[in-house]
Structure 1
């Protein structure tokens, strides 16, 4: 994105002026040499007839010594023009980057407002500052903390494509300006969940299975329950009753998690594999539900 700017190139007349000066200088030297040898008289008239028009042209002001230096001046001007254009280009690129950042922030803010209008939740948005899948645990670091009202046990949601905003993790620990969230795909994650079916609900636990080569399962389901596949799984809001080390009292009910992909019988219960609405490993921006509006 650069404005059109004219760059002056060296003019051909400048070089012609240099040539004329050289020719005149050589003729003067020739005259002096002839004059000393006594041979100037026969050719003086002829030489004067050559020089007279040139001298007249120079006296009229059509020629100036400034034309000799104009090629050098034009080169310096050209370099200055190039430097100015490079500086302008750098400034425009910087402005473009800032514009794109502002657009992204505005888009995320509009999305947050839309979610808060559709749900009773109060959200705090944050970028994912780090992911640590190689540590043996599925956790992410968020760029918000105690100073932003974040507490352990709060639900972390994200959105992907045209999917609804869905649960991706739970705040595990909090610092003044940062927090660590345990993803729902981690083996140690367990969240109470439910599936709406007809006029009732089917309760179960959504457990992470990433370390076992899968994503998330819905477990502890009565084996008599029939699933057609594609049913929506949401949080039940009962995680505070689970006997786990991680407090989950702040996870509200009816936060989307995913859809049932397949079901199998295991002992006296069923296990349903869930396709999450949002892949937690790809989350770059998330919201924390700081107030469920209950």
Structure 2
């Protein structure tokens, strides 16, 4: 019987291993040779040539790297700058709005001080309002204010104002009321009639204040008997009797002792006296008023 031998059973890794070992020894020998040659200075010309060849390329690569870095920095920096700019703009907008609110509050401060003074001096319950439409030259002296029925304003309520160092003086009476506005009949209107009396005397003189807008926004005190003489310079205030007098002016809720004006001149005819009255406040010039809605 013949025995066969398969060469494929022989290990094939031995030649491959020997080749790898030979290559490694060759590389080590070359490296050792290069080290020896470099120490002897033999490779200096080669190194110099390689350096001169590679230096421009290395410089260009460095410039590209720096340019890329600057570009990326600019992109990221611009994004951060835009975010910071947006934040600052929002902050400026908020500060401007706050400044507007503070200026509005500062503008209201004198009015609030005046209202506090009015309430403290006269013990009135008042409602601040603004004149949104002034009087016209159509024969009637009416103004419109921005407070109405929803704010508690009623027909017949007295409306006062201040001008300079004047006291809080009567300038009109609510004649018509809407939901959020009201029309005020000025005391200078020829149809305005209000019960009044002199103040500052032991015996006040009672009469009627009627409007005389045609005569320079003056008033006239009429229907005064000669029992108590009138004198120039006397103050005139409301008497609080208008409701009982049944006049055409809706004055049912005018309280007494509301300042009106000062006597300028007095005329006597028979048993009756009349006097020209200068109002403390010119109703045509007011822009802020207070409606007397009650008394404390």
Shorter-chain TM band = 0.5 to 0.7
- Bigger Rg, which one: 2
Q: Render the CA deviation track for 1:263-286: whole Å, top value 9, x for unaligned.
A: 153644544333322221222222
- Given that 1:139 and 1:180 are in contact with CA atoms closer than 8 Å, whether structure 2 keeps it comes out as yes
Q: Render the CA deviation track for 1:148-206: whole Å, top value 9, x for unaligned.
A: 33221111112233322111111112223322111111111111111135421122222
- Given that 2:265 and 2:277 are in contact with CA atoms closer than 8 Å, whether structure 1 keeps it comes out as no
State the secondary structure of the residue aligned to 2:180.
Answer: coil
Kindly tell me: are residues 277 and 51 of structure 1, through their superposed partners in 2, closer, same or farther at Cα, counting changes over 3 Å?
Answer: farther
Kindly tell me: are residues 78 and 226 of structure 1, through their superposed partners in 2, closer, same or farther at Cα, counting changes over 3 Å?
Answer: same
Alignment partner for residue 129 of structure 2, among 117, 126, 129? Answer: 126
Q: Render the CA deviation track for 1:52-93: whole Å, top value 9, x for unaligned.
A: 89558649x6x3334357778877877766665444433322
- Given that 2:198 and 2:204 are in contact with CA atoms closer than 8 Å, whether structure 1 keeps it comes out as yes
Residue equivalent to 1:154: 157
> In the TM superposition, what are the counterparts of 1:173-188 in structure 2 within 5 Å?
173-188=176-191
CA distance in 2, matches of 1:228, 1:189: 23
- Given that 1:263 and 1:270 are in contact with CA atoms closer than 8 Å, whether structure 2 keeps it comes out as no
CA distance in 1, matches of 2:128, 2:278: 24
Deviation at 1:107, TM superposition (A): 5.2
- Given that 1:144 and 1:150 are in contact with CA atoms closer than 8 Å, whether structure 2 keeps it comes out as yes
Deviation at 1:255, TM superposition (A): 0.5
Find out whether 1:143 has 2:146 as its counterpart: yes
Residue equivalent to 1:225: 229
Residue equivalent to 1:265: 267
Deviation at 1:292, TM superposition (A): 3.6
CA distance in 2, matches of 1:71, 1:263: 85
> In the TM superposition, what are the counterparts of 1:1-294 in structure 2 within 5 Å?
51=56, 54-55=59-60, 58=63, 63-67=66-70, 85-105=88-108, 108-196=111-199, 198-222=201-225, 225-229=229-233, 231-260=234-263, 262-265=264-267, 267-268=269-270, 269-292=272-295
Q: Work out the number of aligned pairs and report it.
A: 246
C-alpha RMSD of matched pairs (Å): 3.6
Deviation at 1:142, TM superposition (A): 2.3
What TM-score does the superposition give when structure 2 sets the normalisation length? Answer: 0.67
**Structure 2 residue runs without a partner (length 5+):** 1-48
State the secondary structure of the residue aligned to 1:117.
Answer: helix
- Given that 1:164 and 1:256 are in contact with CA atoms closer than 8 Å, whether structure 2 keeps it comes out as yes
Kindly tell me: are residues 152 and 92 of structure 1, through their superposed partners in 2, closer, same or farther at Cα, counting changes over 3 Å?
Answer: same
CA distance in 1, matches of 2:135, 2:80: 55
Kindly tell me: are residues 136 and 76 of structure 1, through their superposed partners in 2, closer, same or farther at Cα, counting changes over 3 Å?
Answer: farther
State the secondary structure of the residue aligned to 1:177.
Answer: coil
